[in-house]
Amino acid sequence: MQHQTDATQAAAFSDIGNPDSPFYPRPFNPTPPYPHGFPIEVAPVPIDRWAEGNTGIPYLWSFEATEPGPHVALVALTHGEEICGSYALDLLLRERVRPRRGRLSLLFNNWRAHQRWDPFAPNRAFYIDHDMNRIWQQAHLDAAEAGVELDRARELRHFIETVDVLLDLHSTQQPSPPMTLPGWPPRKVAFACALGWPPLVIRDDGAGRLRDWRGLGAEDGTRVGLVVECGQHWVAETGANALRAALHLMAHVGTIDAGTAHAFGMSVPVAPPRVLTVTHTFRARCAGAELESVWPDIVEIAEAGTYLGHDGVGEIRTPYPAAVLVMPVTRPRPGAVMLRIARDTGS
């Protein structure tokens, strides 16, 4: 059944991060020094109200239209401390949004890690045993190794294989503009651009991402998985961006009609997204890896050879003129990606 649009839905969009909304807990407003360097404008949505699901799998909801169409899955909490996606899913569930065609699924992915969310140490909720966005490989999932995230992935893998279009909603440690990370295949980059929003598409490579599981990441085919980084973890607007990304995607593939998307606050993009292609990825090779300053995200460095910091073993410098820094992490934990460098490849 198609969802009917009305005035209450338009109001619901601005509820995200609104401390006066009856739907959300009061935000946690600590005094400096803030946990992890940033104030927390929003508190997590109480997702336990969605624990039961309607699929036999906890925290997984799925709705089917009578008219055929693609199976779209919106995913929150792949990283348990990245709460923006749960705002969007909670709102869509409360508003009883149903697909006009095909199937719409809403998944709170690593809900167990998210349960550890603590305003004084929010990053403890990142994962429990394994990064939930690095384990989506056949060898990992088929292995005998146990673990909270591996078991959750095994519980979900066959469901994920029925999904045609997957949107995995994330957020970043440092302030960032909203951006889509479709992976490397040109067809996926084109799909991300066709959505029109977010206005930035980062073409990157990687292994073990949910967005690439089986056909979702293949060079050829029609199934598509995307990550959208919606902004900084604790900023209220990041939750609204997660909903925006979901609306653009659902309207694009016909899961909801444009009228419904606009009633929730979706606006028409003014320009095609800018595409940046990642050419270099730097990891923290040991403790002590550090960038020289707190670089803003998506900043362009004019000169080749500019010193940026060190990865614990060697220096990091810009490899070419007009290099763009993507998601820099000033003080990364050992082994983590601390910086990507990208070239502007147009729109």
Chain residues binding Zn ion by CB under 5 A are 79, 82, 170
Could you tell me the smallest distance in angstroms from the CB atom of residue 170 to Zn ion? 3
Q: Which residue is nearest to Zn ion (CB)?
A: 170
Of 268, 230, 234, residue with least CA distance to 248: 268
Q: Which is nearer to Zn ion, 62 or 110 (CB)?
A: 110
CA angle (185 as vertex; 182, 190 as ends), nearest 5: 65
Q: Which is nearer to Zn ion, 109 or 318 (CB)?
A: 109
Q: Which is nearer to Zn ion, 76 or 266 (CB)?
A: 76
Q: Which is nearer to Zn ion, 201 or 253 (CB)?
A: 201
Q: Which is nearer to Zn ion, 79 or 310 (CB)?
A: 79
Cβ–Cβ under 8 Å, residues 189 and 225: no
Alpha helical stretches, state H, the chain: 7-15, 84-94, 111-114, 138-142, 148-160, 186-195, 236-253, 258-263
What's 44's DSSP letter?
Answer: P
Could you tell me the smallest distance in angstroms from the CB atom of residue 86 to Zn ion? 13
**SS3 of residue 27 by DSSP:** coil
16: amino acid identity, one letter:
I
CA angle (222 as vertex; 99, 343 as ends), nearest 5: 110
Backbone angles phi, psi at 48, to 5 degrees: -60, -20
Could you tell me the smallest distance in angstroms from the CB atom of residue 82 to Zn ion? 5
Could you tell me the smallest distance in angstroms from the CB atom of residue 32 to Zn ion? 25
Cβ–Cβ under 8 Å, residues 136 and 153: yes
Could you tell me the smallest distance in angstroms from the CB atom of residue 289 to Zn ion? 19
Q: Which is nearer to Zn ion, 41 or 229 (CB)?
A: 229
DSSP 128-182: SSS-TTS--SHHHHHSS---HHHHHHHHHHHHHTT-SEEEEEEEESS----EEE-
Could you tell me the smallest distance in angstroms from the CB atom of residue 183 to Zn ion? 15
Could you tell me the smallest distance in angstroms from the CB atom of residue 169 to Zn ion? 9
Helix (H) or strand (E) holding 201: strand 200-203
Q: Which is nearer to Zn ion, 133 or 260 (CB)?
A: 133
Could you tell me the smallest distance in angstroms from the CB atom of residue 278 to Zn ion? 16
Q: Which is nearer to Zn ion, 235 or 323 (CB)?
A: 235
Residue 33: asked if its preceding bond is cis (omega within 30°), the reply is: yes
**SS3 of residue 324 by DSSP:** strand
Angle between helices 84-94 and 7-15 (to 10 degrees): 160
**For residue 88, what are its two tokens?**
């969007």
Q: Which is nearer to Zn ion, 111 or 264 (CB)?
A: 111
Could you tell me the smallest distance in angstroms from the CB atom of residue 126 to Zn ion? 8
